[in-house]
Amino acid sequence: MLKGQDQTWTTVGDVPLFGSVTSITLNNSGGNLLIGTDFGRLYQMSASDLKPNLLESSHIEPVLFASFKNGDSETVAFEYFLVSIKVY
């Protein structure tokens, strides 16, 4: 996590994830993040403590899109290939 502006930035924390981030979504309340990686991993993370919770790791394609169900921080849909959508 970075903090700063313009050309002055400092690292205030980091979170180890498997792969590079390919998608990131914040829920309506701003309390949870969904993060997809290029190695096909999907993580859910609290915005306050940034502790990752691995939700999905059973495929090898990048996670292209992830979304919370409107008003529901527990139901998650994500797309990892052009025609494959999973809902939890």
| Model pLDDT, residue 42 | 87
Please say whether the dihedral angle defined by the alpha carbons of residues 16, 46, 62 and 39, taken in this order, is positive or negative.
Answer: positive
Supply the pTM of this predicted model: 0.70
Asked whether residue 29 is assigned to any structural domain, the reply reads yes
Asked whether residue 79 is assigned to any structural domain, the reply reads no
7-32: per-residue pLDDT in tens? Answer: 899 987 788 899 998 888 887 777 88
Asked whether residue 35 is assigned to any structural domain, the reply reads yes
Number of domains in the chain: 1
21 vs 88, higher pLDDT: 21
Asked whether residue 82 is assigned to any structural domain, the reply reads no
> Contact, 36 vs 77, CB < 8 A?
no
Asked whether residue 2 is assigned to any structural domain, the reply reads no
Asked whether residue 28 is assigned to any structural domain, the reply reads yes
Give the domain extent around 60: 18-71
Asked whether residue 3 is assigned to any structural domain, the reply reads no
Distance CA 71, CA 5 (A): 32
Closest CA to 49 of 2, 4, 15, 10: 15
Asked whether residue 85 is assigned to any structural domain, the reply reads no
28-86: per-residue pLDDT in tens? Answer: 777 888 888 899 888 988 888 888 989 888 777 888 777 766 655 555 655 554 444 55
